[in-house]
Structure 1
Amino acid sequence: MIRKPYLVIEENQNFHYSLMKSMIEGASLSEICNQLYHSNQMILAVADTDLHLAGYSDCFDWKEYTRKMVPDMLQYSGSSMDNLDNETVSIYTYLSPLLSSQGIRIFLFPILLHETAYGYILLCTDIATDQLDETIIMKIQQLSLVVALQFSKQNDINTATRHFNSFLFEKLLQAEHLTHEDAVHYLAPLEKKIHRRYYVLYFQSDSSSNIDSFIQQSSRISRFHTMVRSTLPNAKHILMFEKENAQVVLLPFPYDHLEADLLKIRELYIRTMKPNSIFIGISMPAELSNLAEAFRQAKLASSFLSGSRKELPYMLYQELGMIRYFFNHSGELDYEFLEEFIQKYIAPLEEYDRKHHTELLRTLELYLSNNGSKRETEQKLFIHKNTLRARLATISKILNCDVDLLEDLFEIQLAFRLKHLFEKDGEKDRNFLP
């Protein structure tokens, strides 16, 4: 009984020495977990706040047993510990049918320092373990500081790298009389294959609204970049930057399987950044020397998509058509004016058709789609030419214009174009990418 406290102190000192030695040697989180397994028989892993593994001991198939684990599945274990700020925090447990079949339980210890959440330390135990030994908790507390420092260090490296890349991107946007050779020189530090022309993708989202800390945000962004690099076969040709709290991706032109890879990048963004909504704008292919204009195009397309009622995975700048001329210098649309413009030419015909059971709106749409050809419109509607003339005359009277006048026809075409752009059309088939 007298010797036991000294043995505990000695064990913790050895554990502390092992941790400090690992840090001094620059060991990774996986190497630290492996060393602690061999020296203390603790089966450990480390995960970020989204429960993505950042390091683990090789003696256990952590990826297989935690791949379906999400924060909502964690349960309170009934135990607690003091965190690095000397505040009491709950210890959680995770138990799945797969773990149960193997007689295993996983405990999760939150890593908190200065009110910042860094992630969790995971401990694999026997399923019969309900209460944790105080010695184990003391070791986890010591390990928490090391993990927090490792996360902070890696976060600083990742943030510095992204800031440097963003600085290069800013130089491209701000450079005057930029040549392709200048652009290649600027981008040389990225060690990527540089192409002459690119699509610019602008990812606008509200992902920051569900992020608890800068560490978590940085971790998600880094994971998004890493996932793109490791998942897409053309990753060495893809350039990634940050600007205005948005992610900017450059895809070379021409690009095989463009739409498929674009949707993959979108899926990876959703999986890693966890946004409530996402709006992707895509520029027209542009020379690197004209990157500033391509960036403006992508941003406008994203801005339009975020303000419209359309539920689309992305919007191409070229799809905006005439609406491109209604953006101000800040990239904003006057939605109230545009809505009034649509109502001026669309609503009166809808109301008239509803009251008189006519097809004036459909007639006008076909007339416009046939570029004002009366013959083609007659044929598609299966009506006599006199019937069409009568309908067009009625339309002109209702709208207080002349559909045969070029100026009036331009405004009517614009109204219909705006209507199709703003209406919520859901899941249309779209095969418009070059």
Structure 2
Amino acid sequence: MYIEESLQLQNKLLTTLVTGGGLKELVESLSNFIEKGVIITNPSYRVLHSTLSNESLKPGDSLDVLALNPPVPGRVLILAGEEGLEALALELSHDSKRLGFLFICNPGTDDDHRLKVLTHQARNLYVIEMQKQEELLETGRHYQDAFLFDLFYGNMEDNEDIISRARLWGWDFAQPYVVTVFELEDYEAYSEDHYLVSSLYDIIQSIVQPLDRSVILMKKNEEVILALPIEEKKRRDDKAFINMIINQVLAQVDERIVSRRVRVGTGRKYDQPTELFRSYQEAKVAVKLSVLLKGKGNMTYFRDLGVERILYNHDKQELLEFYREILADLEAQDKQKNELVETLENYLSHHCDLKATATALFLHPNSLRYRLKRIEEILDVNLEDFDIIVALIIAFKIKHLIGFKEKLSATIYRSSKMSALAIVMRPVGYYPLWRMES
């Protein structure tokens, strides 16, 4: 059934390719043949081409793709602008690599089997064309990413050489740049997480592309690196501009990448391209330390970090020795209940405010005074001495920072030891694998 019609469609699509047509022409040929609207997207549902008359749906726009309720095999609900359309969904993939999706809009009920047969017979031609485009893009990205890798890791020492090479991609390094890193939390290699990072990349690209052709965007494992050209203006204006972009990205992340958190760190602005690697490293430090800065949200600026940014890259053994000199006696005396250590940390975090600390710990002020007196006796210090207060604050920051770094290292080690099957089987939040039955 439908064999003759299927052969006609294949001949029509082959003729389109032979006469110089590309992906756009293939989509239009299929749409005309089956008399249905057709949309083709990349793996994160960014529209590559569409035959819908919907003016709000243009190449580069993102589709919201939802499962039907009740679910129907092979069918989804797509939101194109404010319009909801039922569609048949076909995954376009090769060697387990997802290249994109093909959507047949408003398929009706009577043509269901016919459309499945026709689109399955034609899918190989779409896969071949998408592979060809992907290979061309990959070739360009290879040289571009090699240049950016050297730039972000400080392997280039000549400003004029960097500026002239960057012009090949339309980047103007004669102006200052600042680097922001977007990181997918709990990223696991060899899982579907790389599709989530691709989706994050597409979100950022859709927001920054209209701003300036000198914007730089790069994917690297769990990161998307954004380097923004910044005009010479007040620091407050710079931050407001960057905040606007980050907030737009995070708003779309909340809608499109469910159940996963994206952390953001921003480095400082640098005038010379040979110094841009510092902004990248600062942004990465800000991302990592954002885990420690509770209540600060997902967005951290390196410039706004306190003493943590100095301690983060300091020698671990030296930090431990400082911590032990300051707090070891108190911890030794407080092994059973741990109440004195907790009391001191709360007292410091509440800016040495007796009333606020007592309220936080549900203590009577006199009970708190007694504990603080005991702490002074054990440590042989005066808690009204400013230098002592600073030393104690740093000691607690070291305690949490070292604990955080050890936890981070353990997580990385566990991830590397996880079996491939366990990783592949891990559920993810955004990408259901819709496949139509042949």
Describe how 1:282-297 pairs up with structure 2 within 5 A: 282-287=266-271, 288-297=273-282
Deviates more, 1:291-300 or 1:151-160: 151-160
Match of 1:32 in 2: 26
Contact 1:75 1:93 in 2 (8 A): no
1:103-118 alignment to 2 at 5 Å? 105-118=86-99
Q: CA separation in 2, counterparts of 1:269 and 1:195?
A: 32
Deviation at 1:338, TM superposition (A): 9.7
Give me the CA root mean square deviation.
5.0
Secondary structure class of the residue paired with 1:111? strand
Deviations 1:128-173 (A, max 9, x none): 437423xx33321222112222332333333333333221122324
Q: 1:132 to 1:280 in 2, by over 3 A?
A: same
After superposition, the Cα gap between the structure-2 partners of 1:300 and 1:105, relative to the gap in structure 1 and judged at 3 Å, is: closer
For residues 220-244 of structure 1, the C-alpha deviation after alignment (integer angstroms, 9 at most, x for no partner) is 36524531344xx533342223345
**Which residue of structure 2 aligns with residue 278 of structure 1?**
262
Q: Distance in 2 between matches of 1:268 and 1:306?
A: 21
1:400 is aligned to 380
Q: 2:129 matched to 1:150?
A: yes
Match of 2:150 in 1: 171
Q: Matches of residues 181-220 of structure 1 in structure 2 within 5 Å?
A: 181-206=160-185, 209=188, 216=195, 220=199
CA contact (8 A) 2:217 2:225 kept: yes
1:203-256 Cα offsets, whole Å, 9 max, x none, are 2224754986699468536524531344xx533342223345422111234436
Structure 1 CA distance, aligned partners of 2:317 and 2:175?
32
- 1:238 paired to 2:204: no
**Partner deviation per Cα, 1:286-321 (whole Å, 9 max, x = no partner):** 232212222222111212224665552222223332
Question: Quick one: distance in 1 between partners of 2:346 and 2:105?
Answer: 71
CA distance, structure 2, for counterparts of residue 175 and residue 73 of structure 1: 50
Please state if 1:70 is matched with 2:65. yes
**Contact preservation (8 Å) 1:281, 1:317:** yes
Report the residue type matching 1:73 in the other structure. Answer: L
- Equivalent residue of 1:139, what SS? helix
Letter of the 2:65 partner, please give it.
V
What's 1:122 paired with?
103
What are the equivalent positions in structure 2 for 1:131-150 lying under 5 Å apart?
Answer: 131-133=112-114, 136-150=115-129
Which residue does the alignment assign to 1:312? 297
8 Å Cα contact 2:217/2:226 also seen in 1 = yes
Q: Secondary structure at the match of 1:147?
A: helix
May I ask how many residue pairs the two structures share in their alignment? 373
CA distance in 2, matches of 1:409, 1:279: 31
SS in 2 for 1:300: helix
Amino acid at match of 1:300: V
- Post-superposition Cα deviations, 1:318-350, rounded to whole Å, max 9, x if no partner, equal 333222233348x999999999799769998x9
For 1:322 and 1:354, the matched residues in 2 are separated by 21
CA 1:203/1:131 → structure 2, altered by over 3 Å: closer, same or farther? closer
For normalisation by structure 2, the TM-score amounts to 0.65
TM-aligned CA distance change 1:333 to 1:313, over 3 Å: farther
Percent sequence identity over matched residues? 14
1:15 Cα deviation after fit: 1.4
1:85 corresponds to which residue?
A: none
- Would you say 1:414 and 2:400 are equivalent positions? no
1:172 alignment partner, SS class? helix
Match in the other structure for 1:370: none
Partner of 2:245: 261
Q: Which has the larger radius of gyration?
A: 1
Greater length-normalized contact order (CA 8 Å, ≥ 6 residues apart): 2
1:57 matched to which residue of 2? 51
- Structure 1 residue runs of 5 or longer lacking an equivalent are 78-90, 368-388, 423-434
TM-score by length of 1: 0.66
When structure 1 is superposed on structure 2, of 18-27 and 302-311 the one drifting more is: 302-311
SS of structure 2 residue aligned to 1:169: helix
Paired letter, 1:160? T
